[in-house]
């Protein structure tokens, strides 16, 4: 019997949230649970002060809208505070190493979140701090997006279809978002397919993680350039074709590789032969390139729910890695019983 107020793991087994591969399915489901229970409570007008007087340092080596705003709002809604340490605003990179920055933030803040250029940087931050470090995206993965995405998928699951029959197709480049989606959907025992030209398929290191998940939890993982893989998709997901980490390859090269075959448009949704297929995008989107307006703004799109669930996930993450997720759920339960 599902109990929305009871976690299997009252505290995290790892200090940091750098990679979902560090956590098993039951721990990820705990993070989903605290996120969704707190979401219901806050949406119904409830308030929480679980992180009163707690501070989250947010380091950004790159721009961000969703990650930055969602963490800042999450901390405020839980009684805490977030500091936006944008590029150029702190000594990091100019006069101070990432390790020394971590040691200083460690003495002043209870949590650190960082979006970094290189995955090694987030690992170094975590190694040099005693407080939890959350990976707000690296060139390897995007685990906070992962949690928000699996919450969105659970919110929009087709009725009466078991998880091992859910098909999630990522269309496009093997970005860190593609890799993260593969990691979390296979961890939940779903069927994951990347539909892309062979040169852009997920590499063997990533696929090894997916295969280990399918061994443990069921489901499947595949890469293909055959459009037949679209058939029967429950979720179609895409991301931009160029830009974030590969600043050298010109846009025209990416356009030649992906356009028009891999653009998510009405024809591609029709090729799924599932009128209820849901469209997802981590955003920001390049309208008219990887996705058309008619799909992003159309009836099958859940991209805006997905964006909102970044906030749902961040509340869960700061509570869980702050070590107070069960406390928050106990408080919510008490409030409900007192009503
Ligand atoms: N999806 C995502 O991470 O958005 P931002 O880059 O705006 O944070």
Q: What is the mean pLDDT of residues 230-237?
A: 98
Residue with the nearest Cα to atom 3 of ligand 1?
Answer: 67
CB of 303 shorter than 6 A to ligand 1 = no
Q: What residue's CA is closest to ligand 1, atom 6? A: 64
Residue 172 pLDDT > 80: yes
Please tell me the distance from the alpha carbon of residue 40 to that of residue 18, in angstroms, as a whole number.
Answer: 26
Which residue is closest in CA terms to ligand 1's atom 4? 66
For residue 67 and ligand 1, the question of a CB distance below 6 A is answered with yes
Quick check: 246 pLDDT over 90?
Answer: no
Q: How far apart are the first and last CA of the chain?
A: 23
Beta bridge partners of 338: none
Q: Which atom of ligand 1 is nearest to the CA of 63?
A: 6
Pocket lining: 283 vs ligand 1, CB cutoff 6 Å:
yes
Cα(283) to centroid(ligand 1), Å: 6
Across the range 102-127, mean pLDDT stands at 96
Rounded to whole angstroms, the Cα distance separating 19 from 155 reads: 23
Indicate if ligand 1 lies below 6 Å from the C-beta of 66: yes
Query: Among the atoms of ligand 1, which is closest to the Cα of residue 136?
Result: 3
pLDDT digit string (tens) for 71-109? 999 999 999 999 999 877 888 876 888 899 999 999 999
Atom number, ligand 1, closest to the C-alpha of residue 177: 1
**Average pLDDT, stretch 206-232?**
98
Does pTM surpass 0.85?
Answer: yes
Determine contact, residues 274/300, Cβ cutoff 8 Å: no
Ligand 1 atom nearest to CA at 144 = 3
Mean pLDDT to the nearest integer, 315-326? 98
pLDDT digits (tens, 9 = 90+) for 6-26: 999 989 999 999 999 999 999
Average pLDDT, rounded, for the chain:
96
145: Cβ below 6 Å to ligand 1? yes
Question: At 243, is the pLDDT very low, low, confident or very high (cuts 50, 70, 90)?
Answer: low
Whether residue 101 has its Cβ less than 6 Å from ligand 1: no
Is the pLDDT reported for residue 134 higher than 70? yes
The confidence score (pLDDT) of residue 139 equals 95
pLDDT value at 146 more than 70? yes
Give the 3-state secondary structure of the chain: CCCCCCCCCCCCCCCCECCHHHCCHHHHHHHHHHHHHHHHHHHCCCCCCCCCCCEEEEEECCCCCHHHHHHHHHHHHCCCEEEEECCCCCCECCCECHHHHHHHHHHHCCEEEEECCCHHHHHHHHHCCCCCEEECCCCCCCHHHHHHHHHHHHHCCCCCCCHHHCEEEEECCCCHHHHHHHHHHHHCCCEEEEECCHHHCCCHHHHHHHHHHHHHHCCEEEEECCHHHHCCCCEEEECCCCCCCCCCCCHHHHHHHHCCCCCECHHHHHHCCCCCCEEEECCCCCECCCECHHHHCCCCECHHHHHHHHHHHHHHHHHHHCCCHHHHHHHHHHHHHHC
pLDDT at 251: 84
| C-alpha of residue 244 to centroid of ligand 1, in Å | 11
Residue 76 alpha carbon to ligand 1 centre in Å = 19
pLDDT at 92: 81
Query: Looking at residues 173-190, what average pLDDT do you find?
Result: 97
Ligand 1 touching residue 65 (CB < 6 A)? yes
Look at residues 244, 256, 325 and name the one whose alpha carbon lies nearest to residue 36.
325
Per residue in 97-107, pLDDT tens?
A: 889 999 999 99
Residues with Cβ within 8 Å of residue 212, at least 6 apart in sequence: none
pLDDT digit string, tens, across residues 275-303 = 999 999 999 999 999 999 999 999 999 99
Residue 244 has pLDDT above 70, yes or no: no
Give 114 Cα–ligand 1 centroid separation in angstroms. Answer: 12
180 lines ligand 1 (CB under 6 A): no
């Amino acid at each position: 019997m599902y109990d929305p107020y009871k976690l299997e793991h009252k505290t995290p087994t790892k200090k940091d949230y750098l990679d979902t591969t560090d956590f098993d399915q039951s721990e990820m489901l705990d993070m989903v649970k605290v996120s969704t229970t707190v979401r219901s409570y806050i949406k119904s007008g409830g308030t929480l002060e679980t992180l009163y007087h707690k501070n989250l340092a947010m380091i950004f080596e790159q721009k961000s809208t969703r990650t930055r705003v969602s963490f800042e709002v999450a901390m405020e809604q839980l009684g805490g505070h977030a500091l936006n340490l944008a590029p150029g605003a702190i000594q990091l990179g100019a006069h101070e190493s990432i390790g020394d920055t971590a040691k200083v933030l460690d003495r002043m803040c209870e949590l650190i979140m960082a979006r970094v250029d290189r995955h090694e940087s987030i690992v170094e931050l975590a190694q040099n701090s005693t407080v939890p470090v959350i990976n707000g995206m690296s060139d390897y993965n995007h685990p906070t997006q992962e949690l928000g995405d699996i919450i969105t998928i659970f919110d929009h699951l087709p009725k009466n279809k078991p998880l091992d029959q859910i098909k999630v197709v990522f269309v496009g480049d093997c970005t860190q978002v593609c890799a993260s989606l593969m990691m979390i959907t296979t961890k939940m025992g779903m069927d994951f397919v990347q539909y892309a030209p062979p040169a852009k398929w997920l590499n063997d290191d990533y696929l090894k993680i997916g295969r280990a998940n399918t061994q443990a939890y069921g489901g499947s993982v595949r890469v293909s350039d055959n459009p037949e893989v679209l058939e029967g998709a429950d979720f179609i997901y895409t991301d931009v074709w160029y830009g974030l980490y590969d600043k050298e390859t010109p846009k025209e090269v990416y356009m030649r590789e992906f356009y028009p075959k891999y653009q998510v448009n009405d024809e591609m949704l029709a090729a799924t032969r599932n009128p209820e297929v849901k469209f997802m995008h981590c955003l920001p989107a390049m309208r008219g390139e990887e996705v058309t307006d008619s799909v992003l703004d159309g009836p099958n799109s859940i991209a805006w729910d997905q964006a909102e669930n970044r906030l749902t996930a961040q509340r869960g993450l700061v509570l869980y890695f702050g070590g107070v997720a069960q406390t928050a759920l106990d408080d919510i339960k008490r409030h409900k019983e007192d009503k």
